[in-house]
Chains A and B, each alone.
Chain A
């Protein structure tokens, strides 16, 4: 076993372990923090595989922004310290579905790749990923960017009563206008 193998297994264990804690922990904010650990370990897995850029994108986007937004939203609403009693759900069906999907995927992968040894791919440097995205995959990339742009515009339209969102019925238009920060 090489160092890379050991690292892969260790990081994988951390990712899966903290992932399990995310769904089993009764502490609301702590599960968010376990998610940070889990996603960080996944970034570590990318690093071991030589995909530097993807790893740091993972940290920048998921750890630095997505989880933070999630924690932010939780803290704005209800984030008690300590265990929350109302978080229990019957675990049986979801465990069954999760285990089934996991087992099915594992079987699929094992069947697809068998024990063939593949040559190690080139490291995923920024240059190579940039070349691939803006060469081979430029159409999906542009389509995705249009999708994101329309989502952004949609979010703005929905949140601004002066250009599209419906005003609350009990307010007269003048009152609603006053509430919009100038």
Chain B
């Protein structure tokens, strides 16, 4: 295959994944939440069980008027949704789907790149919060920044544990080195990573920055139309990214029966299973209060991930 064709296929594949997977997760959220709450959810759009609901939502968002708050800093206000979405696009590039190089961009230090870029999302939160010229937005943004800064530490420490176990920072390399017994050995790190990841994408029960009962909608309060849709899209891509990273780092990615042919299917199945769990959390848990949130991070997740690092080194040096 010539280079340009190879590049084109990869870029198109990433764009398709970037646009389709979040919609599937979003629709799943509508339906799963509805059924867990004894409703049926959207039923009319697209005729069959409301499958086109999110497409209809998208059309609605495009038609809405583009509103700025009067006192807003317009440039920053407009830029923030793009800054929120862009990091996830880069992360999707590095996630391996199957064996034999089925990844958009193979990097030696993919894990490090992913963590660095995920940390960038907090800038978008602060930008949107401040530029909205709204007290609720600013409060939400400050909560968001405190939460993201705090939870980045257990996230990085948990990822460091699995990188040490695999002896590489490359995401496909980590999956190649993965063995089923790591499910037990790396279980604490996996849990910490998943929980901290939930907090990083500000999903319930960690949605203090957008707590709708006290802050209207946090840093997204002033956004309408397409810009708001960008934030929503970023949230759902965030779910996919966190589920995919947990899959790749802790659940063995493409490992499973017939991994050589069906590796990509195993990865996708695990990603969707974890996305289901993330939706499930939203339905089952009440929102954590701000002090509980910080307490969980600093007094539970950080010590657990540090202990996991010690355990990883101990087991690694014994075997």
Using CB atoms and an 8 Å cutoff, list the residues of chain A in contact with chain B: 27, 29-30, 33, 36, 52-53, 56-57, 59-60, 63-65, 67-69, 71-72, 75-76, 79, 81-82, 125-126, 181
Contact = CB atoms under 8 A, between A and B. Distances in A.
A68 B122 contact: yes
Interface residues of B, number: 33
Contacts of B122: 64, 68
Contact of B149 (A65, A82, A125): A65
B88 to A, nearest CB: 15
Contact of B116 (A27, A29, A59): A59
Interface in B126-179: 126-127, 129-131, 133, 138, 141-142, 145-146, 148-149, 152, 156, 169
A72 B127 contact: no
The 3 A-B pairs at the shortest CB distance, nearest first, are namely A64-B119, A60-B116, A59-B116
Contacts of A72: 126, 142, 145-146, 149
Given A68-B149, A75-B141, A59 B119 contact: yes
A57 B138 CA distance: 28
B117 interface: yes
Q: Is the interface of A mostly helix, strand, loop or mixed?
A: helix
A8 to B, nearest CB: 21
Contacts of A30: 73, 76
A56 B109 contact: yes
Interface string B112-127: 1101110110110011
Nearest to A127: B108
B282 to A, nearest CB: 26
Interface of B: 71-73, 76, 107-109, 112-113, 115-117, 119-120, 122-123, 126-127, 129-131, 133, 138, 141-142, 145-146, 148-149, 152, 156, 169, 291
Given A60-B116, A75-B141, A76-B142, A81 B72 contact: yes
A68 B149 CA distance: 8
Contact of A75 (B113, B115, B133, B138): B138
Contact of A68 (B115, B133, B145): B145
Contact of B76 (A33, A57, A126): A33
B127 A125 contact: no
B120 A75 contact: no
17 contacts: A33-B127, A53-B109, A56-B112, A57-B112, A57-B116, A59-B119, A59-B120, A60-B119, A65-B152, A68-B149, A71-B126, A75-B129, A75-B141, A82-B73, A125-B108, A126-B108, A126-B112
Given A56-B112, A81-B133, 12 more contacts: A29-B76, A53-B109, A56-B109, A59-B119, A60-B115, A63-B120, A68-B149, A71-B126, A81-B71, A81-B131, A82-B73, A126-B108
Contacts of A33: 76, 123, 127
Contacts of A60: 112, 115-116, 119, 156
A52 B73 CA distance: 35
B128 to A, nearest CB: 12
A52 B113 CA distance: 9
Nearest to A28: B130
A65 B15 CA distance: 29
A123 to B, nearest CB: 9
Given A29-B130, A72-B142, A75-B141, A63 B113 contact: no
A29 B126 CA distance: 10
A69 B127 CA distance: 13
A56 B73 contact: no
A72 B143 CA distance: 10
A66 to B, nearest CB: 11
Given A63-B120, A67-B123, A181 B109 contact: no
Contacts of A36: 123
B126 to A, nearest CB: 5
Contacts of B148: 68
A125 B129 CA distance: 37
Given A68-B149, A75-B130, A81-B131, A181 B119 contact: no
B130 A79 contact: yes
Residue among A52, A64, A65, A79 facing the most chain B CB atoms (10 A cut-off): A64
